[in-house]
Structures are given as C-alpha cells and as structure tokens.
C-alpha cells in the first residue's frame, strides 16, 4: 500500500517543489556571490523567463497526459505547477525592474508602451496574476462556471508568451521557434475546446448587437 494515490500525489508535489524551488535558490545564491558570468542581470532575466515558460508548458501538458494515460490524479498537481509558473514570471518581472531598470518606474512604463514585446509580456503577466489569485479553492467555489472560463485564458497566455519570447531575441530564433511549436502542439490537443470557445465568443457578440 506504499503507492496509494495520495502517496503518489504527495511524491509528485515534493518533486515539483524541489525541482522548481532549488534552481531559483541557487540562481540567486550564484548571482549575489558574483558567480553568474559577465552579465548576471541578463542571466537572471533569461533563467526566470525560460523557467516560467517551461513551467507554463508543463502545466498545460498535465491534462492531455492525464486523459491519454487515464491518470486522473495528475490533475491535482496542476495548481502547484501554475503557482510556480506565476512565481517565476513574478521574479522575471522583479529582475527586469530592479536590476535592469534600477527601479526607474517612468522608464518601466515607457518600455511597456514603446516595446511591443514588453507590452505582450505584461499582458501575459496580468492574466497569470488573475489565474494565480483565483486558484484558491474558496474563490474557485464562489466563481462557479466563470472560473473555468477565466482559466481557459491559460491558452491565450501561452500564445502571448511565445510571441514575447520570439520578439525579445535579437538573432537566435531557433529556441523561440521551438517553444512556439511546442505551444501549438499543446493547443492542438485542445482544438475542439478552443474552437467552441471562439465560436461562443462570436455568438455572444452577435447576440449583444
Ligand atoms: C511581466 C512582464 C514581463 C516583462 C517586463 C518581461 C521582460 C523581459 C525581458 C527584458 C527579457 C529579455 C530580453 C533580452 O534578452 O534583452 C525577456 C525575455 C523573456 N521573457 Fe519576459 N517579460 C515579462 C513577462 C514574461 C512572462 C509572463 C513570461 C513567461 C511566462 C516571460 C518569458 C520570457 C522568456 C522565455 C524570455 C526569453 C529569455 C531569453 O532567452 O533571454 N516573460 N522578458
């Protein structure tokens, strides 16, 4: 009875905590001890950005895997993965604001307006924040059906982030294109659901006219 479902969930959660939290801890340890190479600011922005995107894609992989292999219990670790996605994205934003812009808020708002890749990153972050805040069970219960509608925006966030990544690079486009492809594959699993969502949005628009 060692591998009961609740033990498997517990084990998975421990693995997620270790593999998401320890790299972040070691990143800042190396950064504050001057061991991150010639451009530590770029390095922390890069690490947290890629980390957030990896975690977002892993979160989106859970439900197709649970469905295909009939492992329903996997759905119970989605919230934890989503919260780590948000935490990495939050640190990505903090790194940019504190280390790159030296907390120059006016410059930050300028960047949001002037650089399309920052605008898109910011929109993605606002949606991620909404998903993280509403992931609490008490809020989920209160929101009823609109909770699922809001959480479907994770697909939209993935598209925004792949565009943000693609636009942020100057020359090396192989990895952003690879991530874009991964995003498309993951969204293709939800083809029917996404089609229904888009159709229902159009129907609502037509009815409101
Ligand atoms: C909160 C608003 C955001 C800001 C201000 C921001 C800012 C930046 C900046 C300055 C870069 C580096 C560009 C360069 O190399 O010069 C970057 C890259 C990147 N960002 Fe963001 N970002 C934001 C949101 C996000 C979110 C929500 C994600 C993922 C969930 C993300 C993922 C990435 C990735 C994957 C890269 C490429 C990393 C690299 O190769 O260096 N960003 N972002």
Q: Is 46 in the pocket of ligand 1 (CB under 6 A)?
A: yes
- How many domains is the chain built from? 1
What are the backbone dihedrals phi and psi of residue 104, each rounded to the nearest 5 degrees, phi first? -80, 95
Nearest-angstrom CA–CA distance, 68 and 126: 31
Q: Is 49 in the pocket of ligand 1 (CB under 6 A)?
A: yes
Residues 6+ apart with CB under 8 A from 186: 57, 60, 61, 64, 158
Mean pLDDT by 10 residues, the chain (209 residues): 87 98 97 94 97 98 96 96 98 98 97 97 98 94 92 96 96 95 96 88 79
Residues 6+ apart with CB under 8 A from 139: 133, 147
Q: Is 44 in the pocket of ligand 1 (CB under 6 A)?
A: no
pTM: 0.94
Residue 196: the pLDDT is 87
Query: Would you give the DSSP letter of residue 15?
Result: H
Say how many Å lie between the CA of residue 19 and the centre of ligand 1.
Answer: 21
Residue numbers of the domain that contains 117: 5-208
Q: Is 180 in the pocket of ligand 1 (CB under 6 A)?
A: no
Give which of 160, 96, 102 is closest to 126, Cα–Cα: 160
Residue 2: the pLDDT is 72
**Which atom of ligand 1 lies nearest, measured to the CA of 56?**
30
In contact, 27 and 42? CB cutoff 8 Å = no
In contact, 143 and 150? CB cutoff 8 Å = yes
């Amino acid at each position: 009875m060692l591998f009961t479902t609740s033990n498997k969930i517990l084990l998975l959660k421990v693995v997620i905590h270790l593999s998401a939290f320890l790299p972040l801890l070691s990143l800042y340890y190396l950064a504050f001890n001057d061991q991150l190479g010639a451009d530590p600011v770029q390095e922390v922005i890069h690490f947290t950005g890629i980390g957030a995107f990896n975690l977002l894609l892993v979160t989106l992989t859970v439900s197709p895997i649970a469905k295909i292999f009939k492992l329903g219990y996997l759905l119970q670790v989605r919230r934890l993965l989503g919260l780590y996605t948000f935490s990495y994205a939050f640190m990505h934003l903090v790194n940019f604001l504190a280390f790159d812009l030296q907390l120059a808020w006016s410059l930050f708002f300028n960047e949001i307006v002037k650089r399309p890749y920052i605008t898109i990153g910011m929109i993605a972050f606002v949606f991620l924040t909404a998903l993280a805040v509403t992931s609490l069970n008490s809020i989920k219960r209160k929101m009823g059906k609109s909770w699922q509608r809001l959480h479907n925006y994770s697909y939209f966030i993935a598209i925004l982030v792949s565009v943000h990544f693609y636009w942020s690079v100057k020359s090396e486009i192989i990895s952003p294109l690879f991530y874009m492809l991964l995003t498309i594959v993951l969204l293709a699993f939800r083809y029917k659901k996404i089609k229904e969502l888009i159709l229902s949005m159009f129907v609502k628009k037509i009815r409101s006219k």
